[in-house]
Amino acid sequence: MSKTARFLWGLAGLVLVASVAWGLYRHLPQDVGAAVQQGRLYLGAAVTPLFLMSAGLALVLGLGASAASKLSSRAPPPLAKRPALSPLEVVNEDVAIAVREMLVELGQYLRGVASQPEPDIILFMDTLMDGAIRLGASDVHIHPLEAGTRIAFRVHGVLEEVLTIPREVHPRLINRIKVLGKLTLYKLDKPQDGHFPFATQEGPADIRISILPTNHGEAVALRIARSGVRLPQLTALGFPPALHEKYRQLLGLPQGVIFVAGATGSGKTTSLYASLGYIKESRGALTRIASIEDPVEFDVPLFAQTQVNSEQGFTFAQGLRSVLRQDPNVIMVGEIRDPETARTAIQAGLSGHLILTTIHANSAAGVFNRLIEMGVEPFLLASATVATLSQRLVRALCPHCRTPSPISPEEVARLDAAGIASGTFYGPVGCERCGGSGYLGRTAIYEMLTVSPALRDGISEKLPSPRLHEIAKSEGMVPLLAAGVERARAGATTLREVFRVVGGGA
């Protein structure tokens, strides 16, 4: 073979090797952590990856020769042997203790990872998200401060600190999040939004990223949207027996609108999902249940869930109109925010559908004036609404150390002004079970207004909220303050907590 032929054959071989290498480069995962997540999603969440990686392959993947040994020697993640908590868990004593213990265990583990001379950021991020999902957290907050970066979870509506990491670790953690979300690494002075999939043994989740520049660095909020969430039982919500029975009867109605009112973080979503779970259980699998949410917080089997997209013009009102064409029996509308959604929900409640939705209002009676201000016709509102439920969350006293406690003269005066008798109440002490705080979890207090003929007339006549409130009281409604005082008498919470969340209104 001539020199020219050998040269051409050699050149062809080099081209072949280069093309194969380019193909491998394009198709091999550039991020091992992301590849593991993809593998879990494709092969099943229960699959545990084994990193048996040679130094050569680690170099091909851009990890360096030491990366394979790091990955193969990883210990099982913390909390692996603990049962996962649902984001919709009713926060009783056992759940509160589990949350506190899991936070301590997770924080200690992550602190050890972050304190290494070369912290394994992939391990840190994977463990952080796995722990958040096992704890039932809805959000992860990464907040840079002058001395370090504070990481906290929002668990059952309460922000719980996990740990503070060294300041020098912050940029690496943020870059890891940007890589997962396919965001721009060098953009440090502008907000960015994205998302990435994450899989655990509890199933897949979608993590939504929000990055905001601050004076100490980029702050990150991660919203966790999970699938396969365990719905809470209606019996676990803490309704008084009479109210619970009445509410169950309302959930059995074929049509109408039930409004759940309360501030952000007052447990409205938990109440709605528990209500839908009860409807599904009591009516059977053939009952069609649909929801329009922003965003879809929890992927629930057997529910037809739709997410609004305001940027694309897909609003709550448009989503509700589309869902109605699917002929559902029950519809959950995440929130009434605008006149169009309000009017559409009312019309749906009058046309053979049971509508469950939330609205921001200060009381059960205040819902009606809020909707009338949105432009809903009073007579249609009166005809469609079957009940309004107002709720608040209060800290629950630790049952192991609570003690009878005298109330202040100011509290006595507030009770007298509301026409409520004084009595024995309880206060916090602090013990090992509650971490010295005197409180353990949270509990809810409710007031429910059932629309009667007298109230229907009052709504149609646009009576002010205080007047509707008085009519409802005369018909047996227990107001929020009175309901809270009863929980305080029973030792479930303190009178101060009740006044804090309700105020002094009767």
Question: Domains along the chain?
Answer: 85-227 (3.30.450.90), 234-502 (3.40.50.300)
Query: Residue 374: beta bridge partners?
Result: none
Q: Is the pLDDT of residue 97 over 70?
A: yes
Cα–Cα dist 248/183, whole Å:
47
Mean predicted confidence (pLDDT) in 414-431 = 90
Contacts 24+ apart (CB under 8 A), 149-153: 149/173, 149/217, 151/110, 153/103
Look at residue 12 in the predicted model and tell me its pLDDT.
63
Q: Which residues of 404-428 are buried (b: 16+ CB within 10 A; e: fewer)?
A: eeebeeebeebbeeeebeeeebbbb
Banded model confidence at residue 76, pLDDT cuts 50, 70, 90: low
Rounded distance between C-alpha atoms, residue 481 and residue 506, angstroms: 6
Alpha-carbon distance of 182 to 167, in angstroms, equals 24
Q: Which of 496, 432, 487 lies closest to 101, judged by CA?
A: 432
pTM confidence score: 0.72
CA pair distance 394, 197, nearest whole angstrom: 34
Other CB atoms within a 10 A radius of the CB of residue 219 amount to 20
Q: What are phi and psi for residue 397, nearest 5 degrees?
A: -65, 145
Q: Is the pLDDT of residue 259 over 50?
A: yes
Q: Which of 9-23, 261-275, 339-353, 462-476 has the lowest mean pLDDT?
A: 9-23
Choose from 221-235, 303-317, 344-358 the range with maximum mean pLDDT. 344-358
Q: How many Å apart are CA 61 and CA 196, to the nearest integer?
A: 21
What does the alpha-carbon distance between residue 448 and residue 387 come to, in Å, rounded to a whole number? 7
Average pLDDT score over residue span 22-28: 43
Tokens representing residue 123 in the block: 């391990």
C-alpha to C-alpha distance for 12 and 236, rounded to whole angstroms: 72
Query: Per mean pLDDT, which range of 227-231, 333-337, 444-448 is the poorest?
Result: 227-231
Question: For residue 216, which of 261, 168, 183 has the smallest C-alpha distance?
Answer: 168
Residue 359: exposure state from Cβ atoms within 10 A (0-12, 13-18, ≥19): buried
Of 310, 306, 303, 311, whose CA–CA distance to 330 is shortest?
303
Give the pLDDT of residue 19.
Answer: 56
Percent of the chain scored above 70 by pLDDT?
Answer: 80
Q: How confident is the model at residue 88 (pLDDT cuts 50, 70, 90)?
A: low
**Element holding 153 (H helix, E strand):** strand 148-155
Q: What is the dihedral of CA 275, 280, 282, 288, to 10 degrees?
A: 120
Report how far apart the first and last C-alpha atoms of the chain are (Å, whole number). Answer: 103
Question: Per DSSP, which regions of 245-333 are E strands?
Answer: 256-261, 289-293, 298-299, 304-307, 330-333
Residue 78 has pLDDT above 90, yes or no: no
Statement: residue 63 has pLDDT above 50: no
CB 374 within 8 A of CB 339: yes
**Whether the predicted pLDDT of 120 surpasses 60:** yes
What pLDDT, on the 0 to 100 scale, is given for residue 17?
55
pLDDT score of 95: 72
Write out pLDDT tens, residues 5-20: 666 666 666 655 555 4
DSSP category for residue 79: T
The pLDDT value given to residue 228: 67
**C-alpha atoms less than 13 angstroms from C-alpha of 344 in its C-beta half-sphere:** 23
Specify the DSSP class assigned to residue 376: -
Going by pLDDT thresholds of 50, 70 and 90, the confidence category of residue 77 is low
Q: What amino acid occupies position 205? A: A
80 confidence band (pLDDT: 50, 70, 90): low
180, 307, 343 from 196: Cα distances, Å: 6, 17, 36
pLDDT of 195 over the 70 cut: yes
The answer to whether the beta carbons of residues 296 and 307 sit under 8 Å apart is: yes
Mean pLDDT along residues 460-489: 96
The mean pLDDT of 240-253, rounded to a whole number, is 96
Quote the mean pLDDT of the chain: 83
Distance in angstroms (rounded) separating the CA atoms of residues 97 and 385 = 40
Lowest pLDDT segment from 10-24, 51-65, 142-156, 373-387: 51-65
The more confidently predicted of residues 423 and 89 is: 423
DSSP 8-state class, residue 479: -
Q: What pLDDT was estimated at residue 42?
A: 42
